[in-house]
Chain A
Amino acid sequence: MKPILKIQDLVVEYRTHEFGQKVKLAVNRLSLEVFPGEIFGFLGPNGAGKTTTMNVLLGFVPASRGAAYIFNVNVREPIARQRIGYLPELTYYYKFLTAEELLRFYARIFRIPAAEADRRIDEVLKLVELDAVRKRPIKTYSKGMQQRVGLAQALINNPDLLILDEPTSGLDPIGRMKVRQIIQRLKSQGKTVFFSSHELGEVETVCDRVAILHQGELRAMGRVSDLEEKYKCNLEQAFLKVVGYEPGL
């Protein structure tokens, strides 16, 4: 099976302005593959390089070395993003637009015909349960509703690959549950989901495979059950062992 997402020897370096330290290594020789229909959890402590990797996949940050491909197209090409949906962490969408207008704007960028766009807007707004408030300006939405608008925009083009950056961050338990349900529904529709999270319980529930990143390097990758078996513990303890955290120190 051909991977839908492929990262090869990816290196990302940042220039810092600190005295005596000109270059900081954010991601070091990262390689991984995600296959169609998979839900792939991208784990790591803060500063591990997860968001940087996602930024490279989306073309926001150039790779210093190595390469990344989505649907076999180099991520530097805008067309690579035609069949993906992206939900960034903590985004405040154009508050002067309504949810419907926001989705129509994004649909236009994907060149979705008007009739098809209307159908998709209805569909995704129902999916994220914002159909009733579609004509209200986004500025009147709660944080959870804004996050669901984000999810709706990520789904507007009916993407084959979803990249979600901390999709449940800042949400209350009901909001988290709703987002988790949506991800599982997407999985049942055969979508591929690549997402980062700190919520290991959530990852354990929904992910087929996970990768654990620490200090820019890939420390472990595999099925959740395989990792639990390898480290003889649950995913949370396995994660702590992989990143070298020893309780009591």
Chain B
Amino acid sequence: MNNALAIASVVVKELYRRKDFYVLFVLTALITLLMGSLNFFNDDKIVRYLKEICLLLIWISALTIAVGTTARQIPAERENRTIFPLLAKPISRGQLVAGKFLGCWLACGLVLIVFYLFFGVISASREHQWAAASYFQALWLHWWMLAVVVAMALLGSVVFAAPSSNATICLVVILGILLMGRHLNQVALQLAEPMNTVVYAIYFALPHLELFDVRDLVVHNWDPINWLVCGGATLYAAAYAVFFLFATWLVFRRQPLA
């Protein structure tokens, strides 16, 4: 664990010393504030559209940071050859994978805290209330979804040669799941065999990332989700993250570095 945490701390340092996060945060803040300054029929209490735009930007930024940061971790270590002095220390490849995962995931957590605080301030400034439980659930579920995304991108980084191709494939898969995941069972019903079984199998096998997207509930001020259900979703994400990490280790442990 010590080695994994040491590596994670370097990844977190990398995140806050690079410009990516700041650029995305400033863009999110600027667009949100710009949209907030628009006057719709002289009504300054309209807030839901602003919450929706802000959350959409947060999701885009978080996904970009998560996939972008993770996809370059191991390839950058190889390209800059820092993987050699690193693995020449008493550290296993499993610990390296765990450290990279932990670093990227914790970095995403920090990013989300900053973004959601901004979101909270924006919505509170108009609604004059703070739906703390809903916001916390949104952040928590978002963070766990990113655990799956980070683990998936890490697997991609040991399978695909170029970080750009890995990032592109990951983003396409993630967006596909977010948009289509929930409806694949409906699609399957309209297909003839054997495609019906194939699509249904994909539906059950893929990680349903859309479960963690509770933006509609937050935007429209629905009640918080049952905490047990929230816990179930956390376990679901943890299971998939562990699965992807294990697969990453399986591929990476015998991979020649030279």
Contacts and interface: CB of A to CB of B under 8 A. Distances in A.
Task: State if A and B touch, Cβ cutoff 8 Å.
Answer: yes
Contact of B82 (A62, A85, A93, A101): A93
B10 A105 contact: yes
Contacts of A111: 2
Interface residues of A, number: 37
B128 interface: no
B34 interface: no
B45 interface: no
A21 B14 CA distance: 43
B98 to A, nearest CB: 13
A92 B88 contact: no
Contacts of A85: 88
A31 interface: no
A88 B258 CA distance: 11
Given A58-B84, A92-B81, A101-B13, A108 B2 contact: yes
A78 B93 CA distance: 9
Contacts of A231: none
Contacts of A81: 88-91
Given A94-B14, A105-B9, A60 B87 contact: yes
Interface in B58-76: none
A52 B258 contact: yes
A41 interface: no
Most B CB contacts (10 A, CB to CB) among A51, A58, A111, A157 go to: A58
A145 to B, nearest CB: 16
A34 B217 CA distance: 67
B72 to A, nearest CB: 12
Interface string B228-258: 0000000000000000000000000010111
Contacts of A23: none
A153 B85 CA distance: 8
Contacts of B2: 108-109, 111
Interface in B1-50: 2-3, 6, 9-10, 13-14, 17-18
B92 interface: yes
Contact of A91 (B10, B85, B91, B256): B85
Nearest to B256: A61
B85 A86 contact: yes
B7 to A, nearest CB: 8
A87 B257 contact: no
Interface string A93-116: 110110001000110111100000
Interface in B84-118: 84-92
A82 interface: yes
Contacts of A87: 85
Contacts of A157: 89
Contacts of B84: 58, 60, 86, 88, 91
A65 to B, nearest CB: 16
A157 B84 CA distance: 16
Contacts of B86: 109
Count chain B CB atoms within 10 A of each CB in A52, A81, A94, A101 and give the residue with the most: A94
B17 A84 contact: no
A220 interface: no
A60 B257 contact: yes
B129 interface: no
Interface in A152-186: 153-154, 157, 163
A62 B254 CA distance: 8
Contacts of B254: 62
B190 interface: no
B80 interface: yes
Interface in A103-162: 105-106, 108-111, 150, 153-154, 157
Contact of B258 (A60, A86, A163): A60
A163 B91 CA distance: 17
Nearest to B14: A96
A246 B247 CA distance: 52
Contact of A93 (B13, B17, B80, B89): B80
Contacts of B90: 78-79, 81-82, 109-110
Contacts of A97: 10, 13
Interface in A43-93: 51-52, 55, 58-62, 78-79, 81-82, 84-93
30 contacts: A55-B257, A55-B258, A60-B84, A60-B256, A60-B257, A60-B258, A61-B256, A62-B254, A79-B90, A81-B88, A81-B91, A82-B90, A85-B88, A86-B85, A86-B88, A87-B85, A88-B88, A91-B80, A91-B81, A93-B80, A94-B80, A94-B82, A96-B17, A108-B9, A109-B89, A110-B89, A110-B90, A111-B2, A157-B89, A163-B88
